[in-house]
Amino acid sequence: ELEEYKSIANLTSIGIGTIARVILYPDSSEKMIYSIRLLCELQIPYLVVGRMSNVLFSKDIFDGVIIVTTKIDGYILAESKIVISCGASVAKMAHDAKEKNLGGFEGLIGIPGTLGGMIKSNAGAYGCEIADTFVRAFVYDVSRAQVRVMTKDDMQFSYRHSVLKDNNLVLLSAEFEPIYRPYDEICTLMMANKDRRLASQPHGIPSL
pLDDT in tens, 93-125: 999 999 999 999 999 988 888 999 999 999 998
Q: Among 175, 187, 179, which residue's Cα sits nearest to residue 99? A: 187
Per-residue pLDDT, averaged over 164-184, amounts to 96
Per-residue pLDDT, averaged over 154-172, amounts to 96
Say how many C-beta atoms besides its own lie within 10 A of residue 93's C-beta: 24
DSSP letter assigned to residue 14? S
Instruction: Work out the pLDDT band at 49, boundaries 50, 70, 90.
Output: very high
Helix 90-98 and helix 183-200, axial crossing angle in degrees, nearest 10: 150
Furthest CA-CA distance within the chain? 53
- pLDDT in the model for residue 58: 82
Write the CA distances from 146 to 38, 143, 170, integer angstroms: 14, 8, 11
Beta carbons of 65 and 22 less than 8 angstroms apart: yes
Instruction: Work out the pLDDT band at 130, boundaries 50, 70, 90.
Output: very high
- pLDDT in the model for residue 115: 97
- pLDDT in the model for residue 203: 81
